[in-house]
Structure 1
């Protein structure tokens, strides 16, 4: 079974329809399936429900689908760094289902494992618990959270073999494995497709059984929050170090 496709557009061919539910990997701008997102924008599908930790930033990542008004509802745990997300939500143009971050990840994982729901203490006594079943276990109250099963999941990995066995790069692993698991069809973009047998079985983060279609491409890798030291501080430290070395040299000369 050939899982490798020539482009994001080809990999999504026949999978998209208005009103569908998508699960998307990524956290902020880290590990996002940007090529597949661009293909979704080009497809023109609308009224999408997307389960993802957040919705990118203005003009990039899933934020592009906000700009084109293709998203009807977001199932998310974080909506910061995106002014358009906030504007659409507050104006009533976008539905939003808030989830605690761990709950969202577990809802995706449960969907991929065939578990229809689970009980958790997270959210008890808050608006998160409104309208949900409550049950007591050992004197503690829990709420029932339903699993997420998406029509299609889109994720991004660092390396994969032709069977779809995948390795994620450090924190880019984030929501990608559970998002991949909960899709009826998983489409994955990777930086590098390696030969079968090139990946150590003990190092594989996502088994290929969850992956149905693969593409390889170049990625932009933006930095969402850049933090640097002031130039004058760095220069002062260099100067201090030079002065110390000069003093030590003078002492040796004496």
Structure 2
């Protein structure tokens, strides 16, 4: 199977109503090229699992402004003022999760674990409607595992088999999302031949990755600039 595909091919792997795992923190580690390709499709009513919904005019912000997102599951949405307004009007569903809870829920999804108990958010608005249990004299709430129909992730480098390396903190949610998607598409800055990567530095093994595309963006200072 040839895992390296053109960016123009990714749209066919998505359907309306999909739950999509999207890597990134702010814009670091965000698969910007794949998101751009989704803008060209007619899919709608998406549930997006991501730390945030992009910065103004970039990443998931563009997908939201196009009206394709029905629900967002994540931790930090206030940077997208339009999303906050839409939520206040009842036009966007939001499941707000603490970042550690979000990460662990995705990890559980990839590990085949149904969920977990955590003390985080006990007694707050975020615990309403969730199962509560006392363990060793302390209160915990149950958080269900999170999985995706498709996971779109960003890595620094891939070989043609799909083994992935990440660049420092741009790694963030990407490795765990790679384990929790039925289909996993990786956007990378560089594609090399099999055997060119040091196995000691591979974070995501190729068995988790279905498709690889070359990123159209490069980082210039603090900005991500379309370069191809």
TM category (shorter chain) comes to over 0.9
- The equivalent of 1:94 in structure 2 is 92
Specify the structure having the higher radius of gyration (Cα): 1
CA–CA separation in structure 1 for the residues paired with 2:221 and 2:93: 28
Q: How many residues align?
A: 223
Kindly state the Cα deviation for residue 222 of structure 1 after the two structures are TM-superposed.
Answer: 6.7
Kindly state the Cα deviation for residue 161 of structure 1 after the two structures are TM-superposed.
Answer: 0.8
Question: Could you tell me whether the CA contact under 8 Å between 2:11 and 2:41 is conserved in 1?
Answer: no
CA–CA separation in structure 1 for the residues paired with 2:129 and 2:220: 39
Kindly state the Cα deviation for residue 216 of structure 1 after the two structures are TM-superposed.
Answer: 1.0
**TM-score scaled to structure 2, two decimals?**
0.94
- The equivalent of 2:20 in structure 1 is 22
Query: For 1:161-220, what per-residue CA distance to the aligned partner results, in whole angstroms no more than 9, with x for missing partners?
Result: 111110110110011111221111100110001111111111111111111000113314
Question: Could you tell me whether the CA contact under 8 Å between 1:117 and 1:145 is conserved in 2?
Answer: yes
CA–CA separation in structure 1 for the residues paired with 2:220 and 2:44: 27
Q: Greater share of strand residues, 1 or 2?
A: 2
Question: Could you tell me whether the CA contact under 8 Å between 1:25 and 1:176 is conserved in 2?
Answer: yes
> For 1:169, which of 167, 170, 173 is the aligned residue?
167
CA–CA separation in structure 2 for the residues paired with 1:223 and 1:183: 32
CA–CA separation in structure 1 for the residues paired with 2:171 and 2:76: 17
**CA RMSD, aligned part only?**
1.4
SS in 1 for 2:139: strand
- The equivalent of 2:10 in structure 1 is 11
SS in 1 for 2:106: helix
CA–CA separation in structure 1 for the residues paired with 2:19 and 2:221: 28
- The equivalent of 1:232 in structure 2 is none
Q: Greater share of helix residues, 1 or 2?
A: 1
